[in-house]
Amino acid sequence: MAEESVKLLGYWGSPFALRVKWALKLKGIQYHYVEEDLPNKSPMLLQYNPVYKKIPVLVHDDKPLAESLVILEYIDEEWKQNPLLPIDPYERAKARFWAKFADDKCVPPVMAAFSKKGEEQERAAKEARENLKTLESGLEGKRFFGGETIGFVDIAAGWIGCWARMTGEIIGINLIDAETMPLLDAWFQDFLEVPFIKECMPPQDKLLEHNKEFHKILTAAST
Amino acid sequence: MAKNDVKLLGVWASPFVMRARISLNIKSVNYEFLEETVGSKSELLLQSNPVHKKVPVLIHGDKPICESLVIVQYIDEVWTSGPSILSTDHYDRAIQRFWAAYLDDKWFPAMRRIRGAQGEERQELVDQVVEGLALLEEAFGKYSKGKAFFGGDQIGFIDIAFGSLLGWLRVTEKLGEVKLLDEAKTPGLVKWAESFCADTAVKSVMPETEKLIEFSKLLMAKMKGAPPPKN
């Protein structure tokens, strides 16, 4: 597969672009990566994603796709090796359910805990912890959501562990409690140790600095 | 498949429940519709959707499936002898999923909030919804290729995701006294809406706008602005 036929527009610090990098890496797909300067979005990005004007955008044979979970399913259907979604329709439904749950119910309160202050922040942190606990039930006692190996939900939600920990460090509130959510905690750790996952992660110190700066900006704005 | 092997927990007014019903109709699947009482949740609902405690829930054998778009895809994948709901082409499927997600993540949440909003906020929401309809009009032109539906000759994934929201769109227009779907601006969508509502898979499960209006008034009175219990 020629590198030029697959292009990914992303941002080094974005967990959503990271999901796509992981999927492409897992499947061994060569691609051309374009780093977007988010304050100055390229005309190419605006042309490829006029609805949201956001990264990530995957372009395959000049056909653009936006929205990371949509991109993940496309990658999984287009390239069959190392499948992300299971074959059984019920198991697939469960995987889609939990990926959506992570995006709709875990990510927003983690982001809110990160960007708000005072009571709002406390409420968001509580909601984040509760919903992460619920996410744990989706593991069904398995090592990964995909079973013994990484699957769709792992790629979709695994980054939350790293970001939630970093958020906890920055705001001084623990979001992932090893005591109340031991399986989730173990899953996050196991996930981040998987070689291809680790390889694609942005440098942690750079990411921490970046997120600290971002936190300053957000909390100044929410005053 | 015996009728009671497939159950659907729902409420008549829910657009999300409608998506599941339309899909089951397209595939000619016999199912038992279990109507939840608005304001209370049955044991079965709480057991089969402990995470969200919301309708719709499809129960196939003893397996519960939740979240309307997840349910529609499940139906499409299990009942393969009926017409396809999603395209067989990978890219087209991705585009269909994109627009369904757009409707649920951006367009419908903005539309729902119009009635409870005032002043500048209300105008912003109306603008967002109208802009969204312009985008959907463009998408319709592109994907229908001159046929009646986003899915072409037959109802597909985007049709189901969007068409199920038409009832509440009309309620918002009527009670919110605002024109959203405008023949002058989005003629394609206006015609599409007619075709959608007339389709055999849709007709029997599309609630009458008048009934929805009454229901909406009741809800607003009871809950004073809190969102109705559906997803």
Contacts of B97 in chain A (CB under 8 A): 67, 70, 73
Check CB contact of A70 with chain B, cutoff 8 Å. yes
Contacts of A51 in chain B (CB under 8 A): 102, 135
> B39: alpha, beta or left, given left = phi > 0 and alpha = psi -120 to 50?
left
Q: B45-59, pLDDT tens digit by residue? A: 999 999 999 999 999
Contacts of A90 in chain B (CB under 8 A): 60, 63, 65, 74
Distance of alpha carbon B101 from alpha carbon B98, whole angstroms: 5
d(CA A208, nearest CA chain B) in Å = 29
Q: Which of A68, A12, A17 is nearest to A209 (CA)?
A: A12
d(CA B76, nearest CA chain A) in Å = 9
DSSP A92: H
Q: Locate the DSSP E strands across chain A.
A: 6-10, 32-35, 57-60, 63-66
B98: amino acid identity, one letter:
F
Q: A122-163, pLDDT tens digit by residue? A: 999 999 999 999 999 999 999 999 999 999 999 999 999 999
Neighbours of A109 (CB within 10 A): 22
Interface of A with B in 153-192 (CB under 8 A): none
Distance of alpha carbon B75 from alpha carbon B85, whole angstroms: 9
pTM across the whole model: 0.95
Contacts of A74 in chain B (CB under 8 A): 90-91, 93-94
Is residue A171 within 8 Å of A114, Cβ to Cβ? yes
Task: Kindly state the average pLDDT of the residues B109-134.
Answer: 95
- The closest CB to that of A73, out of B66, B94, B102, belongs to B94
User: pLDDT category, A221, cuts 50, 70, 90?
Assistant: confident
Q: Give the ipTM.
A: 0.95
User: pLDDT category, A207, cuts 50, 70, 90?
Assistant: very high
Task: Kindly state the average pLDDT of the residues B21-41.
Answer: 95
User: pLDDT category, B1, cuts 50, 70, 90?
Assistant: very low
